[in-house]
Amino acid sequence: MGYEGTNQITDLIYNSFTLGMEDHLLEIFGGHDTKEVITKGISAESGLNWTKDGQAELNKIPGFVRGKVKRNTEKFARERGFKDISAEVLYAAKESVGA
């Protein structure tokens, strides 16, 4: 691969980052295997259990607000006596703040 080939690959990567298209890079370079990633189901500081569907919905939320959404949802669950946080609890917490 010569200069022009390297330049095109570099431009593709740079432009993807600047346009917010990082997911495009996963398609180009084959992505990553998430099957072996162990997700933490229990929140250590709260003692609440996130169900798989609750965790899946939480993971759909953009990273820059995910922590705040998680904290607010856990607070909502504790106040109402929930031990498990499912997608339904996440939606109920969202509705309670009017979002």
The residue range of the domain holding 46 is 38-99
| Same-domain check for residues 54 and 74 | yes
| Same-domain check for residues 81 and 98 | yes
Instruction: Tell me the residue length of the chain.
Output: 99
- 82 within 8 A of 50, measured Cβ to Cβ: no
* Interval 24-51: pLDDT, tens: 556 666 655 555 555 554 445 568 999 9
- 54 within 8 A of 90, measured Cβ to Cβ: yes
| Same-domain check for residues 11 and 47 | no
Dist. CA 25–CA 83, nearest whole Å: 38
| Same-domain check for residues 94 and 61 | yes
| Same-domain check for residues 84 and 45 | yes
| Same-domain check for residues 88 and 73 | yes
Dist. CA 94–CA 99, nearest whole Å: 6
pTM for the model stands at: 0.54
* Interval 2-27: pLDDT, tens: 888 888 888 877 766 555 555 655 66
How many domains does the chain fold into? 2
| Residue listed under structure tokens 């006596």 | 81
| Same-domain check for residues 22 and 66 | no
Dist. CA 97–CA 66, nearest whole Å: 15
